[in-house]
Structure formats: C-alpha cells, structure tokens
C-alpha cells in the first residue's frame, strides 16, 4: 500500500527567515567568518532585497557561497554544535499556518519530510524539533570529520525533484495523494509533482510561473500570513501589483 507524504521547505515556508542567515550570524560571532565579509559582500544584496529592489534568493546564495568557503577545513563537531544552538534558540520562530499543517498531517498519519536548501546539520535539528520522519538538506561534504569545501546543493528545483523521486522509491509514496509546501522557485518542481501543492508567502517569481501554468494554477493553494492574520487565496482572484 502506498503512503501519503507531506513535503515541507523550511526557509520562508516553515521558519520565518532563512536558517542560513542564523548560521552566518553565529559564524561571525565565533570569528569563523570575518565581519567585513558581511558588510562588503553580503550586505549589498541584503539591502537590495530589504528595499524590495533585489531578489531574496540572490542574498541567500551569496551567504551560502561564503559559508562554503568559511567552513572548509572546519571540524564537523563545530557546525553540529552551532546548528543545535540555533534551533534551541530560534526553532520556534515559525509560521502559525505551517506549524498547524505539520500537526494536521501528523494526525492523518502522513509521512512528514523536509526538503530544504539549508545546510543538512540545521535541517536535521529542525526535523528533530518538529517531529519530521525524514529530511534532506544541502550536503556539505565531510572527509575525516573535516569539511572539504564541496557542496551537494538542495536549494534548486532540479535537485529537489531528484530528491523527491528518491523518497518516492524509498517510502512507496503516492505523489497524487501527497502534499507540498514551498515559497520560492527552488520549490517549483516539488509543488508541481504532488496532488496538493501550497505556496506560503510566495515570491513573485514562483507565483508568476505557477500562474502561467494552468494545470498547476488550478490545484495550487495560496497562503499569505501577515501579523496575526492568515489569508487563503486562489489565483483566479489574485491581482499582482
């Protein structure tokens, strides 16, 4: 008998920011990343996004690039320690809607799976905290307990698609009966693959692509959570300004 799964992105879908941002801050605090790299290399992309003149993904990818360089040669116990601290301190900073959906799927005995572009160490701790059955994150390669500087990313749509096909085989998942929750272009394939897709506070880029796909648009569930309000919308009644 096939299983029903619920696939969740983390950054911007469950967690209200990006976990890589929290990791970046900690690495600066522990003097693993020079603060100058934030001001010179990351802050310009952050400022463009903060002023709504740039792309959020550009900001995240810039941090991810520096993160790869910063942890090269670092012992894995350092990152494991920092990841645990971040989730202990920040792991409850989640969207109400998504947290409630996790509980809904748990009650329905659906298999709960995270598919996230965040570092695997952070994803693992988030999965433990929120009771997921399995997880996949970006894998920063380790040899002899040291980070090599190589990464197997999970922040793009192509790799998330491959990961879900692997999960389908592993758990005998019925994709037509399954659910997915995402917010950016990196989640597009994941959303398109399942019978019950939901976008949560979606970026303009992914929403525009979904709206142009009539088949997906007819199935998509659009959620916007702002302040203490949750809005459920349908593409037919959305005007993008």
Write the secondary structure of 71-122 as one string of H (helix), E (strand) and C (coil).
HCCCEHHHHHHHHHHHHHHHCCCECHHHHHHHHHHHHCCCEEEEEEEEEHHH
Question: In this predicted structure, what is the pLDDT of residue 236?
Answer: 83
Q: How much is the average pLDDT of 207-224?
A: 95
Looking at the domain 5-237, which fold is it? Answer: Rossmann fold (3.40.50)
Q: How much is the average pLDDT of 103-131?
A: 97
Higher-scoring residue by pLDDT: 55, 13 = 13
Q: What is the pLDDT of residues 187-201, one digit of tens each?
A: 999 999 999 999 999
Q: How much is the average pLDDT of 141-158?
A: 93
Q: Is the dihedral of CA 83, 80, 185, 196 positive or negative?
A: negative
Tokens representing 11 are 């950054």
Tokens representing 240 are 């993008």
Q: How much is the average pLDDT of 190-217?
A: 95
Question: In this predicted structure, what is the pLDDT of residue 5?
Answer: 98
Least confident of 191-195, 204-208, 222-226: 204-208
* pLDDT above 80 for 173: yes
pLDDT class of 51 with cuts at 50, 70, 90:
confident
Question: In this predicted structure, what is the pLDDT of residue 82?
Answer: 95
Least confident of 45-59, 101-115, 202-216: 45-59
Q: How much is the average pLDDT of 162-172?
A: 96
* pLDDT above 90 for 241: no
Kindly list the domain boundaries of the chain, sorted by start residue: 5-237
Strands (E), the chain: 5-8, 111-119, 134-143, 146-152, 179-182, 196-200, 221-226, 229-233
Q: How much is the average pLDDT of 11-16?
A: 94
Question: In this predicted structure, what is the pLDDT of residue 79?
Answer: 95
State which H helix or E strand residue 190 sits in. Answer: helix 188-193
Tokens representing 93 are 């900073």
* pLDDT above 90 for 88: yes
Q: Is 108 exposed, middle or buried (0-12, 13-18, 19+ CB in 10 A)?
A: exposed
Question: In this predicted structure, what is the pLDDT of residue 56?
Answer: 74
* pLDDT above 90 for 43: no
Tokens representing 56 are 């959020």
Separation of first and last alpha carbons in the chain: 45
* pLDDT above 80 for 55: no
Q: How much is the average pLDDT of 64-74?
A: 90
> What percent of the chain lies above the pLDDT cut of 90?
72
DSSP string, 117-142: EEEHHHHHHHHHHHT-SEEEEEEEEE
């Amino acid at each position: 008998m096939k299983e029903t799964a619920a696939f969740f992105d983390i950054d911007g879908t469950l967690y209200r920011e990006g976990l890589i941002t929290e990791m970046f801050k900690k690495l600066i605090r522990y003097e693993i990343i020079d603060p100058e790299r934030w001001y010179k290399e990351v802050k310009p992309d952050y400022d463009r996004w903060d002023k709504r003149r740039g792309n959020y993904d550009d900001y995240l990818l810039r941090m991810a690039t520096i993160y790869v360089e910063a942890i090269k040669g670092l012992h894995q116990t350092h990152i494991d320690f920092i990841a645990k601290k971040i989730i202990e301190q920040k792991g409850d900073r989640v969207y109400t809607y998504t947290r409630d959906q996790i509980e809904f799927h748990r009650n329905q005995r659906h298999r709960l799976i995270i598919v996230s572009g965040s570092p695997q160490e952070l994803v693992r701790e988030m999965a433990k905290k929120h009771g997921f059955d399995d997880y996949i994150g970006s894998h920063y390669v380790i040899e002899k307990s040291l980070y090599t500087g190589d990464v197997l990313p999970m922040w793009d749509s192509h790799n998330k698609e491959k990961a879900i096909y692997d999960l389908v085989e592993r758990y005998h998942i019925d994709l037509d009966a399954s659910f997915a929750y995402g917010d950016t272009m990196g989640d597009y394939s994941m959303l398109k693959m399942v019978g019950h897709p939901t976008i949560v506070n979606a970026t303009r880029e992914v929403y525009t692509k979904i709206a142009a796909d009539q088949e997906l648009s007819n199935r998509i569930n659009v959620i916007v959570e702002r302040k203490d309000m949750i809005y459920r919308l349908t593409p037919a009644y959305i005007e993008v300004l």
